[in-house]
């Protein structure tokens, strides 16, 4: 009887918490570049709380260009967030980073929009 009660109580707690958490996860989007503006400046950074995320990039014209997701090292150097951090055509890639500052930079491409999605961003 106690085991059954505990199971029902845990399910009730899970149902009460899940919708709010699911909404938080699905609504978390950071705009890194909007129509070529924003993350092209070295001072525009966003804090990433760590964990997995998805970067989505689209451009009106790539012209041989790219968009790069960069992570700031503890020494302050901007480094590419792994090979998946460089996109050369409209698309999405997954990434996993420790907590720290991120930014997106573009080269040559125009009409660029770049977003990152995840549950641990602010």
Q: What domains are there in the chain, each with its CATH number?
A: 29-117 (2.60.120)
Please determine, for residue 63, whether its predicted confidence score (pLDDT) is greater than 80: yes
pLDDT digit string, tens, across residues 5-53: 333 333 333 333 334 433 344 447 778 878 776 544 545 678 888 888 9
- Work out the burial of residue 55: count CB atoms within 10 Å of its CB; fewer than 13 is exposed, 13-18 middle, 19 or more buried: buried
Q: Considering the chain, what percentage of its residues have pLDDT values greater than 90?
A: 37
Residues 118 and 53 sit within 8 Å (Cβ to Cβ) = yes
Nearest to 67 by CA among 54, 76, 80: 80
3-state secondary structure of 103: strand
Total-model pTM? 0.70
Q: Token digits for 107? A: 């080269």
Q: Token digits for 38? A: 């924003």
């Amino acid at each position: 009887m106690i085991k059954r009660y505990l199971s029902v109580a845990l399910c009730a707690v899970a149902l009460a918490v899940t919708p709010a958490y699911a909404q938080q996860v699905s609504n978390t989007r950071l705009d890194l570049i909007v129509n070529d503006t924003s993350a092209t400046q070295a001072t525009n950074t966003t804090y990433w709380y760590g964990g997995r995320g998805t970067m989505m990039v689209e451009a009106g014209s790539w012209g041989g260009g790219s968009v790069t997701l960069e992570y700031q090292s503890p020494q302050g150097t901007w480094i590419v967030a792994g090979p998946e951090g460089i996109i050369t055509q409209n698309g999405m890639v997954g990434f996993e980073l420790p907590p720290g500052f991120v930014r997106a930079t573009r080269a040559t491409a125009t009409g660029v929009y770049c977003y990152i999605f995840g549950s641990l961003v602010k």
